[in-house]
Amino acid sequence: MPPHILLLGAHGKIALKLLPLLLSRSWSVTALIRDSSQTPAILATRPPSATGTLDVLVDSLDAIRTTADATRVLEKSRADWVVWAAGAGGKGGPERTNAVDRDAAIAFARASAASGQVKKFLLISALSVRRHPAPWWSAEGAATVKKSADSLAV
């Protein structure tokens, strides 16, 4: 049975490129967008020959504060794979960036791990993925990144 994917941040540049590829594989996708006006752009990504199903779910990642909030979205989608292609995109300042890029991403990762239904979680975004601190980081910055990373280990 083909996977059912919850695509978070479905109106973003990467997600809009990814959608037709997923649908062409006969995979089902629930595309999460924050505004219903984005629906036509999502539906337009569907290749004519695609056999996968495409559903649109309107909900805001700005509202995802807890694992319970993320679980609510997971339950609506009934997805067994989650793809995080979302981000604040530099809009709304550091508070919004942290709320979406960090807090909502963590909530979805934890909710997915706890769900028993989600088999795969793919995160397409990271401020920093490295084994060692960057040479230009301060000791305080490196400690902050390490503390955040250590708290996320599942």
23 and 46 both lie in a single domain: yes
What percentage of the chain has pLDDT greater than the value 90? 69
Residue pair 46/18 in contact by the 8 Å Cβ criterion = no
In this predicted structure, which of 21-30, 31-40, 86-95 has the lowest mean pLDDT? 86-95
97 and 140 both lie in a single domain: no
145 and 76 both lie in a single domain: no
CATH number at residue 41: 3.40.50.720
pLDDT of residue 128: 60
pLDDT digits 0-9 by tens, 79-124: 999 999 998 777 777 888 888 888 999 999 999 999 999 999 999 8
In which domain, by residue range, is 147 found?
130-154
pLDDT of residue 69: 97
In this structure, what token pair is assigned to residue 31?
């595309």
Q: At which residue do the structure tokens 């290749």 appear? A: 47
16 and 88 both lie in a single domain: yes
Using the 8-state DSSP alphabet, how is residue 62 labeled?
G
Residue pair 60/38 in contact by the 8 Å Cβ criterion = no
d(CA 3, CA 66): 26
Contacts of residue 28, defined as CB under 8 A and 6 or more positions apart, other chains included, come to 2, 3, 4, 5, 52, 53, 54, 55
